[in-house]
Amino acid sequence: MRGRFYPRALLQLFVGIYLGELCLVALFVFKQNWAAIVLEVIWIVVTAAVHIYINWKFLPLFDIVPISAIKYAAGDATCNYPYHDHGSSEKEFVGKNYWEGENRFEISQYDQALINLPGEAAPQSADPEANTSQKLSPLNYLIRFFNPKKETFEAIRKIMPQTYFKYVEYNPRFLSTAYYDPAVSDEKPVIWIAKDPMGISEKEMNKTRQYGVDISNDNATINDKGDVIVTGSPPNYQLPPKM
């Protein structure tokens, strides 16, 4: 479930809250305490409103992580964590830019859309190690418990080991096709056939190459008994690197 059990369990606590409130309403009804009943009904409405608000804010994050949050966590100083809406506005900024741009895979337009996103995060150094080098100042745990905004991403980052922020850098050429199917991005395979005394393989090679297909009959022959004799490696074979 990709880590969904814990947040779903937290949301299911509302079931217990609803049951407790309904039990209180029943007790007040038996005692005919109408003022307490009205007050408890108001609390049920408030609880339902909070439940709906939390679902609206956090359920989308169960499946999708905001792109700006990913880039921000990777140390990109041009992006802020979307505290105000947890990335909901990225559907308009990033998605619209992606589909309406002349080049849908142009990185500069893509990044510019993220930079223009509104944010409330504090400025951050572009160097991840610089963010982890400062020691976290002691905070009052009681205040931090009742004011979770004090527990910012920067505060958490500072107490984490620096090795967590040693990000792998990939070649841009590799990233441009990283999620393509190998049949699309890999080099075309070479068809390997055996050379025969009658020259049939040569004719087939000439016909096949007219369609832009690589074909070779090197290092393979057919003897008089019809057995294929391999005398070397395939034409596109590469030796594995020595460790």
**135 vs 70 pLDDT, higher one:** 70
* 78 and 175 housed in the same domain: yes
* 120 and 39 housed in the same domain: no
Which residues, 6+ apart, have CB-to-CB distance to 223 below 8 Å? 229
* 134 and 158 housed in the same domain: yes
**240 vs 203 pLDDT, higher one:** 203
* 127 and 196 housed in the same domain: no
d(CA 64, CA 95): 14
Final residue before a domain boundary, out of 61, 84, 106: 61
Q: Is residue 88 part of a domain?
A: yes
User: How would you classify the pairing of strands 191-192 and 215-216?
Assistant: parallel
Reading the block at residue 10, the tokens are 């937290």
**164 vs 234 pLDDT, higher one:** 234
Q: Is residue 241 part of a domain?
A: no
**136 vs 184 pLDDT, higher one:** 184
In the DSSP assignment, the letter for residue 140 is -
- Distance from the Cα of residue 37 to its chain's centroid: 47
Q: What is the pLDDT of residues 23-47, one digit of tens each?
A: 999 999 998 898 999 999 999 999 9
CA distances from 218 to 63, 213, 214 (A): 51, 16, 12
Q: Is residue 235 part of a domain?
A: no
**73 vs 30 pLDDT, higher one:** 30
Q: Residue 32 — left, alpha, or beta (φ > 0 → left; ψ -120 to 50 → alpha)?
A: left
Q: Is residue 126 part of a domain?
A: yes
As a whole number, mean pLDDT of residues 197-206 equals 91
- What percent of the chain is modeled with pLDDT above 90? 25
* 101 and 69 housed in the same domain: yes
Q: Is residue 224 part of a domain?
A: yes
State how many domains the chain has. 3
pLDDT for residue 150 is more than 90:
no
* 14 and 41 housed in the same domain: yes
pLDDT for residue 139 is more than 60:
no
* 16 and 92 housed in the same domain: no
- Distance from the Cα of residue 151 to its chain's centroid: 23
Residue 230 backbone phi and psi in degrees, to 5: -95, 125
Q: Is residue 240 part of a domain?
A: no
pLDDT for residue 203 is more than 90:
yes
* 69 and 14 housed in the same domain: no
User: How would you classify the pairing of strands 220-222 and 228-230?
Assistant: antiparallel
Q: Which residue has the tokens 């690589």?
A: 214
Q: Is residue 31 part of a domain?
A: yes
* 104 and 70 housed in the same domain: yes
Q: Which residue has the tokens 């608000």?
A: 53
Q: Is residue 219 part of a domain?
A: yes
* 91 and 173 housed in the same domain: yes
CA distances from 61 to 2, 12, 67, 74, 215 (A): 12, 17, 11, 18, 50
Q: Which residue has the tokens 């996103």?
A: 117
Q: Which range, of 81-85, 86-90, 138-142, averages the lowest pLDDT?
A: 138-142
Q: State the Cα angle at 65 between 126 and 10, rounded to 5°.
A: 120
Sign of CA dihedral 65, 67, 71, 76: negative
* 79 and 160 housed in the same domain: yes
What is the residue range of 201's domain?
A: 187-230
H or E element, residue 230 = strand 228-230
* 27 and 136 housed in the same domain: no
- For residue 125, the model assigns a pLDDT of 46
Q: Which range, of 17-31, 45-59, 98-112, 152-166, averages the lowest pLDDT?
A: 98-112
* Average pLDDT value over all residues in the chain: 75
Q: Which residue has the tokens 């479930």?
A: 1
Q: What is the pLDDT of residues 101-127, one digit of tens each?
A: 544 444 444 444 444 444 444 444 444
